[in-house]
Structure 1
Amino acid sequence: MTESGASGHLRFAGRVAFVTGAGRGIGEAVARTLYAQGASVVATDVDGAAVAAVAAALAGSAAAPPPGRFLARPLDVADPGAVRAAVAAAVAELGPVDVLVNVAGVLHTGPAAAVDDEAWARVFAVNSSGVFHTCREIAPAMAGRGRGSIVTVASDAAGVPRVGMAAYAASKAAATMFTKCLGLEYARSGVRCNVVAPGSTDTAMQRSLWEGDSVPQRVLEGDPGRYRNAVPLGRIADPADVADAVAFLASDEARHITMQQLYVDGGASMR
């Protein structure tokens, strides 16, 4: 993990970042990366114990800590009231949010026409409405200050159909387009909104689709029976690969980039 900063400096020093889904996987990697690059991070997750463990691990690190603070907070992004309270508390303790990263997500697999109402509603409540809830609380204040960056971590499945992933893909597509529309509306206010679309990444969610601990060859070589492309780079992504892309888009180095969708999938989507 390139926690020291891809550009070799504390490019988020003095800034506040609010990250959802930060208890594990990509969200944890994003929170760690932004913190290592100088940000004060409010790391949230529906699993409060998981995100608290991340904070404890950072506090116990032998390395000299970066200048920012790292706060772990439990949060279900599907609950608009909880999001409102969490953002208000973060602003009261650390100051205005400069960077919002939406990572929280849940997965449901199965045939498209067999998804039950409860599963469909839950996937959209977290993956789509969760993004809406956080952006609604944070984007207007960013606009009022004339600056800010929002990055939504969606999925390559939002732009490439997947067998057995209709609910997940549709919810991520909704989050993607919402983020782009928000970016268009807020562009003149100095708020940039972008999307990172990971492909297969070594996370607990990805491993839940495997039969063992090793990367299935069908992930790397493709699966014609499921209309899935191979990964041209021949490797599955590490969460840090995605975190580095998020950090770039959130930084001033991407100051002229908004409403874009960056695929981090080893070339699998051919985009």
Structure 2
Amino acid sequence: MSAEQDLGGRIALVTGAGRGIGEAVVVALVERGARVLATDLDPTGAEALAARHGEGVYARALDVTDPAAVERTIAEAEDTLGPLDIVVNVAGILSGGPVLDLDDADWAAVFAVNTTGVMHVSRSAARRMTARGRGAIVTVASNAAGVPRSGMAAYAASKAAAVMFTKCLGLEVAAHGVRCNTVCPGSTLTDMQRALWAGSPGGAEAGQRAVVEGDLASYRTGIPLGRIADPADVADAVVFLASDRARHITLHDLYVDGGATLRA
């Protein structure tokens, strides 16, 4: 089977699928032959994907912070599409600001989606995958999980927790043939990234240039490869880890950030 169709017959579920990296992951999975349940809190984007890809994509609304809703959605997916082979956790939110000004509700909301949501989805899927003796779970985190970022304590901490949760889960389910890995993107051209540039002097173009060049004042290195990632760059890494080409890879943390963290 060619690499372009190496996921033929596989069933996948993607959270945060309505736009950005989640949307790119859905497209990459479908292009390689998988059928995908695309979920998002706002299903509009996922429904647009389903309209474009026909029977390759099915759209559902899903709040990953609601464990009962997660359980219902995964049960429905298995009843209607078949046993899940692949689960990709992409759903995430960002709330920035200095720790001294951080609101308790914002902190809780970020962890509810970025960490607890990953646990809800992964736990429900892994219970089924371990019973079958196969499956792949990939969590999209962030390079902020491994390198401190000024003004991003809640986001970075939540992503670091998601990484370690995924690794611990992977250790527990490895004997059952289930692999768990994480992909940690750096700055990527998504709506979340553009929102960070909204207040930049000089606009989005200046904001993008600042990310590539780095900022000594905020202790942030630039991007050695000299470009912002496209969502497809991240999606390709996710699909690789979900495929049989990565059959002997688990508990791995793959940075897709153009060298921005110097892999510190």
TM-score normalised by structure 1 residue count: 0.93
Specify the SS of the correspondent of 2:16: coil
- 1:240-259 matches, within 5 Å, as 240-259=232-251
- What is the rounded CA distance, in whole Å, between the counterparts of 1:192 and 1:58 in structure 2? 28
Partner of 2:41: 46
Alignment of 1:78-227 (within 5 A): 78-210=65-197, 211=200, 212-214=203-205, 215-227=207-219
The code of the aligned residue for 2:231 comes to P
Alignment map for 1:49-68 (pairs within 5 Å): 49-59=44-54
CA positional deviation for 1:74: 0.6
**Residue 254 (structure 2) aligned to one of 256, 262, 269:** 262
Per the alignment, in what secondary structure is the counterpart of residue 268 of structure 1? coil
Cα distance in 2, alignment partners of residues 216 and 156 from structure 1: 17
Pairwise CA RMSD of aligned residues? 1.3
Paired with 1:92 and 1:113, the residues of 2 have a C-alpha distance of: 48
What secondary structure is seen at the aligned counterpart in 2 of 1:194?
strand
Gap regions ≥5 residues in structure 2: none
The CA distance in 1 between the partners of 2:163 and 2:132, in whole Å, is 24
How far does residue 55 in structure 1 lie from its aligned partner after superposition? 1.6
Instruction: Give the superposition deviation at 1:114.
Output: 1.6
Q: Following the alignment from structure 1 to structure 2, what is the Cα–Cα distance between the partners of residues 50 and 242?
A: 19
> Distance between the aligned counterparts of 1:50 and 1:252, measured in 2?
29
Aligned partner of 1:213: which letter? A
Give the structure 2 partner of residue 10 of structure 1. Answer: 5
Unaligned runs of 5+ in 1: 60-67
**Selected match of 1:75 from 62, 68, 73:** 62
- One of 15, 22, 27 as aligned partner of 1:20: 15
Report runs of 4+ in structure 1 exceeding 6 Å deviation. Answer: none
Q: Distance in 2 between matches of 1:138 and 1:172?
A: 20
Hey, which of these two has a bigger chunk of helix by percent?
Answer: 2
State the Cα deviation string for residues 44-64 of structure 1 (Å, max 9, x = none).
0001112112222334xxxxx
Question: Match for 1:162: what amino acid?
Answer: R
How big is the shift at 1:262?
A: 0.3
Q: Distance in 2 between matches of 1:44 and 1:115?
A: 29
Tell me if the contact between 2:65 and 2:120 (Cα under 8 Å) persists in the aligned partners. yes
Q: Aligned AA for 1:49?
A: T
1:109 is displaced (CA, Å) by 0.3
Question: Who is 1:31 aligned against?
Answer: 26
Match of 1:63 in 2: none
TM-score (norm 2): 0.95
Cα distance in 1, alignment partners of residues 47 and 240 from structure 2: 26
Count of aligned pairs: 258
C-alpha distance in 2 between matches for 1:53 and 1:191: 31
* Cα distance between partner residues in 1 of 2:18 and 2:56: 16
2: CA distance between counterparts of 1:147 and 1:189? 7
Structure 2 residue aligned with 1:230, among 217, 222, 229?
Answer: 222
The residue type equivalent to 1:268 in the other structure is A
The 1-side partners of 2:120 and 2:209 are apart by 38
